[in-house]
Structure 1
Amino acid sequence: MFAKAVPATLACLATGLVAGTPITVETVHIPMRDGVKLAANLFRTSNSGRVPTILIRTPYNKGHSLSRNRRAFVEAGYAVVIQDVRGRYESEGVFDPLFQEVPDGDDTLTWIARQPWSNGKVGMIGGSYLGIVQWKAALSRNPALKGIFPVVSGCDDYMDRFYSPGGAMKLGHRLLWLSANLKAPGYKPPDFAVFTRHLPVRDADRIAVGRRLRLYQQASDHPSYDGFWKSVSTMDKIEAIQVPVFNAGGWYDNYVESDLAAFSALRKLGREVHTLIGPWAHNMSIPFDEIDFGSHASAPILRMQLDWYARLLRGESGKGHFPPLRIFVMGRNEWRDEEEWPVRRAIPTPFYFASRKGANGLGGDGSLRARPSRGGRVDRFTYDPSNPVPTRGGQTCCNPKIFPWGPMDQTAVERRKDVLVYTSPALRKDLEVTGPIRAVLWVSTTTRDTDFTAKLVDVFPDGRAFNLTGGILRLQYRNGVRKAVAAEPGKVYEITVDVGVTSNVFRAGHRIRVEISSSNYPHYDRNLNTGGPNSSATRAIIANQTLYLGQKNPSHILLPVVKN
């Protein structure tokens, strides 16, 4: 079903409607529990009677949202409600991202269920923030909501939208989204490079949007996963989600880790959940500029949404085939169905870092080995926050023209002396890596805090080196993000860097490569190495970093290898 999308208007045949059926449009103002009214456009056919409803809630203007999806669902016999969320466009109130969406979603669902044209059954669709609001609405347990279909949205508000699993702020993503959507009236922000480089980071919202933003300030003040994040994060309350979930994401999307974490959590709770992960970034478009994953890399999301809700809202049980998990295996460029995540048959396999003269840049002799080298040695580099390693592609968001995403050749990054590069010999046969990636490092630094990064790269026979996934650990969070603990300069620590998730076949003749460094900017904020709160720091300290290798300190990357 992934090879070819079925035209949306074919859905009309199931209901007796005809493509091009006249659709009535009405603007309605839906009251919330606090008296605020949210504007929505109601689309339906004049003779449709009491029908199920598709709800789309958006901060991006209800008049410009999902017109193709809207028409397909109305022609298939649904009412469609597209609502401006609180404080956006024609809706009253103040837009306070994330905090308002549970009660507002709940009240909107209740209003829909009480309308004379509604049969009381509602489903939701949409991506990014339009997906976030679905997770929030599901937390309300409103009986009218029968299912959700979030796309590239994630449900871990700490890890997805503000911080990495290792505690570094997702600076570029956050400021780029804020500058595009929450600018003060009449304010013209400077270039992306200006506001991402501003210090202190805590004040960067004033540069990006021309004013203080409560959410940005609160996130800056809570770098640890504390009570603030527990109160707002969907993942921390995921047991409250009772409705069936179809969740779609991409290997190069910012939210892919929590998409798969939500899948695993809901499966363990016995909920109905289906997840689709393709070779996509946040906009789900292909191909990328530098690599093509083939003719089958797309998926008919609209067709799947129609089938999903034909079953959930119309009782048509024979519609669609929904395996628990469907992933796109890059390199082999094919779809595959799985029952669980992580994939049980994946064998955690260590690839140990080694060097003789030093692994600094492509000119070094860093290698990956099946066993740690005898004895011990070290590789060293200097991390200067004024000259950070630049982000080049990856799991970024939200404007590829300003902040490119996806797979990109990393050789320019790998020429830097502050990037340690470890490369395997050319593979004699294909090797599949599917699952979570971890880098286990023995490190020391000369400062009380710093960062360590790890990136997994697929090196093609022609020398191009494409990033698969990457991660970062703020050293003060080496014991977890719930509590910061300062490092002792010079002390050797064993740390684990969450390098993300992927599914990729390294083809015969390709090489596996790992990059180790201390920055990936502006994807993540620069650690200024002071040991104090990074968001309020204005001065930087240079850190001298040491990575320990060999039998005593066997630094390595742990790859989940799937054997055919």
Structure 2
Amino acid sequence: MIQIYRVLNKVALWPAVVLVMLLAQPPVYADANENYDVKAHYDKAEYSIPMRDGKKMFTAVYRPKDRSKDYPILLFRTPYSIKAYGDDFPPVMRMAPSVDFLKSGYIIVLQDLRGTYKSEGDFKVIRSIRDNKDDPVAIDASTDNYDTIEWLLHNIEGNNGKVGQWGISYPGWTTVMGMVDAHPALVASSPQASPSDMFVGDDWHHNGAFRLMYSFSWMNFAARKRDDLTTELAKPFDYGTPWGYEFFLNAGPTSELNEKYFGGAIPAWNDFIDHPNYDKFWKDQVALPHMKNINHSILNVAGWFDAEDFYGPISIYNEIEKTTPGNKSTLVVGPWRHGGWLTMDGSYLGDIQFGSKTSEYYQKNIVFPFFEYNLKGKGDWNPAEAIVFETGNNEWHRFDQWPPKASKVKNLYFQEGGKLSFNKPADKSKKAFDKYVNDPAKPVPFSTEIITAPGHDWMIEDQRQVSTRPDVLTYRTDVLEEDITIAGPILASLFVSTTGTDADYFVKLIDVYPGDAPDVEIEHQKVKMGDYQMLVGVEVMRAKYRESMSDPKPLKPGKVTPISFNIWDKFHTFKKGHRIMVQVHSSWFPAYDRNPQQFMDIYRATEKDFKTAEHDIYRSVQFPSHLELPVLTGNQDVTASAAQ
């Protein structure tokens, strides 16, 4: 594990890894409810709550001034600071999932995580669940959650004996940890965009491929010293250019960045270098083995276009379904970026409009009723197994299982001439393949934006310019004669050969609009949607991990090799008159680091190790590269509601 760091009210080096997982916390979208006067309705008190090992957690408690009734406790634990100390109150939307909670009346509890800001103890990045559960003073995030609840129940007057918890990103992970060996009074948890596995699919890596730009930008932010941890950060890193592509292309290999730009002062960066494979260091952090006997009510929230933590919520939901029969877990997925259900109104993302304020719908019709019912017994929650937004048709649906029963796998095959078809390839030739050359010196850009940090819109961004590159293979169907709806996980199944011994393979699923699609207006700017290529889903596989993340194996040059990986779940309708497109390429820079296309420890690669390689993607009878699409063949949702 990454070693611990003490963080109190003194100059400190903030542990960089944790902040990479945190919600960036841009300004919350404004509406009339932001004018709600919390101080007029709530009293505040601060406590140092003792844990079983004697360390004390700094906690702010906000109680309704109306003492005529008892209220449930709503707990939020974060390493990112509770944002308000002393007489200060945080913004409304930092206290609860929506302002409706404050109007209805809850005892709001905000806590600095162990070893951060004003809480005592040592901070560990993704502290693993303790092995020695019989030790009465052994601690982890689960025990801290339990001990906090126990103290609150006995020391905060006016509580009704019921507790709920919630959080987004890292606070979502603390929520997940609170679900493990949960306190009996914890009756409702809403983990939102929680990571579950930082090597397989969340934040730092996807299938072993390192997310360079994201990691670097947050390391810069995270490594700044503070005289007082409640103050603003020091001056941000100067890239010397607004164009991140240019900066990272000239920065040199990943192995040199810590010394070159951080002066070797970021231990977390060295942990990446020292643990290039899926070893015990990464496995100890995985949440999934602990998702057993989760019997209280769960509202698991994700965004279809979350660049950081989509794998986490889906995998956590699936694990609970697998290990706990009769569980009370509901999956919610909307058309959002990371945390967008709190920070945006959800009516659009990038250039794509969704026909309604989906975040408001979620806040008023999903998350608020969930807690009201479970913590107060109010309303009729009557949850579906999955409450999911269908992009393309822009509708909310409620299913009694996810994926829906009516989803059936149909293979979409790569064909000659850049075509896609549900018919199997007919070409029996050994040369039935398409070739491209990937040059690490000229990698495929991940976005057309001129930015130094990845942002969020790239997960739904127009792919028209990328499709013109010779190092990007593009396949598309004929114009669709009817709607095609997919609902569930997508599997990419490639047959490849290369001149190198390692490679990255990115596969993108794209919705191509008709040439005469009408323009749209986004933030007072017209966007030309004719032939727009909307990114629906994307994933990467670092080929050396194709058989095992822990035991990488080289590719054999010239040998046809099967490579399969999950693009994860989507719920999208490709409309009549549109086309379905698939793109394949071997770099997506600098969102992901460059692969030298040689079997080696990539983190320690020097510039001379990066080699150009040819890649063949096969589309023959013997080697039929394709996508397995979960096509919805009927409408078996409990209810379907058009965008309001």
Contact kept? 2:349, 2:457, Cα under 8 Å = no
Cα distance, 1:72 vs. partner? 4.4
Structure 1 match to 2:311: 257
* Matching residue within 310, 314, 318 for 2:372: 310
Amino acid at match of 2:329: V
Q: Does 1:30 align with 2:58?
A: no
Unaligned runs of 5+ in 1: 1-5, 13-17, 357-364
Q: Does 1:44 align with 2:42?
A: no
SS of alignment partner, residue 123 of structure 1: strand
Tell me, in whole angstroms, the C-alpha distance in 2 between the residues paired with 1:19 and 1:446. 64
Once structures 1 and 2 are overlaid, which stretch shifts more, 485-494 or 228-237? 228-237
Structure 2 match to 1:274: 330
Q: Does 1:112 align with 2:169?
A: no
Cα distance, 1:140 vs. partner? 4.0
Tell me, in whole angstroms, the C-alpha distance in 2 between the residues paired with 1:210 and 1:56. 35
Structure 2 match to 1:492: 560
Q: 1:398 to 1:325 in 2, by over 3 A?
A: farther
* Matching residue within 82, 86, 92 for 1:67: 92
Amino acid at match of 2:214: H
Once structures 1 and 2 are overlaid, which stretch shifts more, 139-148 or 414-423? 139-148
Q: Does 1:474 align with 2:549?
A: no
SS of alignment partner, residue 475 of structure 2: strand
Contact kept? 1:444, 1:491, Cα under 8 Å = yes
Once structures 1 and 2 are overlaid, which stretch shifts more, 535-544 or 118-127? 118-127
* Matching residue within 199, 209, 216 for 1:158: 199
Tell me, in whole angstroms, the C-alpha distance in 2 between the residues paired with 1:530 and 1:265. 35
Tell me, in whole angstroms, the C-alpha distance in 2 between the residues paired with 1:209 and 1:44. 44
Q: Does 1:55 align with 2:94?
A: no
Once structures 1 and 2 are overlaid, which stretch shifts more, 431-440 or 22-31? 22-31
Structure 1 match to 2:136: none
1:435-491 CA-to-partner distances (Å, cap 9, x unmatched) read: 111121111111221111110000000211110001111111111323211222221
Contact kept? 1:266, 1:272, Cα under 8 Å = no
TM-score when normalising by structure 1: 0.87
Amino acid at match of 1:514: V
SS of alignment partner, residue 470 of structure 1: strand
SS of alignment partner, residue 494 of structure 2: strand
Tell me, in whole angstroms, the C-alpha distance in 1 between the residues paired with 2:257 and 2:547. 28
Amino acid at match of 1:314: K
Q: 1:405 to 1:38 in 2, by over 3 A?
A: farther
Cα distance, 1:197 vs. partner? 6.7
Q: 1:288 to 1:403 in 2, by over 3 A?
A: closer
SS of alignment partner, residue 101 of structure 2: helix
1:390-449 CA-to-partner distances (Å, cap 9, x unmatched) read: 11399xx9976x564342110111111000000111011111112111121111111221
Structure 1 match to 2:286: 233
Structure 2 match to 1:386: 441
User: Aligned residue pairs: how many?
Assistant: 540
* Matching residue within 583, 588, 598 for 1:515: 583
Q: Does 1:348 align with 2:419?
A: no
Amino acid at match of 2:463: Q
Q: 1:19 to 1:142 in 2, by over 3 A?
A: closer
Contact kept? 1:152, 1:249, Cα under 8 Å = yes
Once structures 1 and 2 are overlaid, which stretch shifts more, 284-293 or 452-461? 284-293
1:37-69 CA-to-partner distances (Å, cap 9, x unmatched) read: 332211003453764211111233313656245
Q: Does 1:548 align with 2:634?
A: no
1:261-304 CA-to-partner distances (Å, cap 9, x unmatched) read: 32222123222101111111113233123110112633444433
Query: How large is the Cα RMSD of the aligned pairs?
Result: 3.1
Equivalent residues in 2 for 1:106-505 (5 A)? Answer: 106-117=146-157, 118-162=159-203, 164=205, 166-185=207-226, 186=234, 188-191=236-239, 194=247, 198-202=251-255, 204-205=257-258, 212-239=265-292, 241-254=294-307, 255-268=309-322, 269-270=324-325, 271-284=327-340, 285=344, 286=346, 287-295=348-356, 297-303=358-364, 304-316=366-378, 318-356=379-417, 365-368=418-421, 370-376=423-429, 377-392=432-447, 402=455, 404-462=457-515, 463-505=531-573
Q: 1:236 to 1:215 in 2, by over 3 A?
A: farther
Once structures 1 and 2 are overlaid, which stretch shifts more, 379-388 or 342-351? 342-351
Q: 1:202 to 1:109 in 2, by over 3 A?
A: farther
Contact kept? 1:175, 1:208, Cα under 8 Å = no
Cα distance, 1:251 vs. partner? 0.6
Once structures 1 and 2 are overlaid, which stretch shifts more, 97-106 or 514-523? 97-106
* Matching residue within 114, 119, 144 for 1:86: 114
Q: 1:221 to 1:196 in 2, by over 3 A?
A: farther
Tell me, in whole angstroms, the C-alpha distance in 1 between the residues paired with 2:72 and 2:296. 16
Cα distance, 1:120 vs. partner? 4.0
Tell me, in whole angstroms, the C-alpha distance in 2 between the residues paired with 1:215 and 1:240. 33
Q: 1:260 to 1:469 in 2, by over 3 A?
A: same
Once structures 1 and 2 are overlaid, which stretch shifts more, 133-142 or 168-177? 168-177
Unaligned runs of 5+ in 2: 1-30, 85-89, 128-139, 227-233, 516-530, 635-644
Tell me, in whole angstroms, the C-alpha distance in 2 between the residues paired with 1:37 and 1:398. 39
Contact kept? 1:452, 1:518, Cα under 8 Å = yes
Q: 1:232 to 1:428 in 2, by over 3 A?
A: same
SS of alignment partner, residue 57 of structure 1: strand
1:117-159 CA-to-partner distances (Å, cap 9, x unmatched) read: 2444321122122211101122242333222112222433433
Q: 1:221 to 1:319 in 2, by over 3 A?
A: farther
Tell me, in whole angstroms, the C-alpha distance in 1 between the residues paired with 2:361 and 2:262. 36
Structure 1 match to 2:141: 101
Tell me, in whole angstroms, the C-alpha distance in 2 between the residues paired with 1:250 and 1:169. 21
Tell me, in whole angstroms, the C-alpha distance in 2 between the residues paired with 1:151 and 1:391. 26
Contact kept? 1:249, 1:276, Cα under 8 Å = yes
Tell me, in whole angstroms, the C-alpha distance in 2 between the residues paired with 1:177 and 1:127. 17
Structure 1 match to 2:105: 77
TM-score when normalising by structure 2: 0.77
Contact kept? 1:165, 1:481, Cα under 8 Å = no
Structure 1 match to 2:15: none
Amino acid at match of 2:579: R
1:481-508 CA-to-partner distances (Å, cap 9, x unmatched) read: 2321122222110111322321111111
Tell me, in whole angstroms, the C-alpha distance in 2 between the residues paired with 1:440 and 1:105. 42
Once structures 1 and 2 are overlaid, which stretch shifts more, 116-125 or 510-519? 116-125
Tell me, in whole angstroms, the C-alpha distance in 2 between the residues paired with 1:429 and 1:541. 45
Amino acid at match of 1:112: L
Once structures 1 and 2 are overlaid, which stretch shifts more, 41-50 or 410-419? 41-50
SS of alignment partner, residue 238 of structure 2: coil
SS of alignment partner, residue 483 of structure 1: coil
Amino acid at match of 2:217: L
Taking only the aligned residue pairs, the percentage that are identical comes to 29
Q: 1:148 to 1:295 in 2, by over 3 A?
A: same
Q: 1:203 to 1:26 in 2, by over 3 A?
A: farther
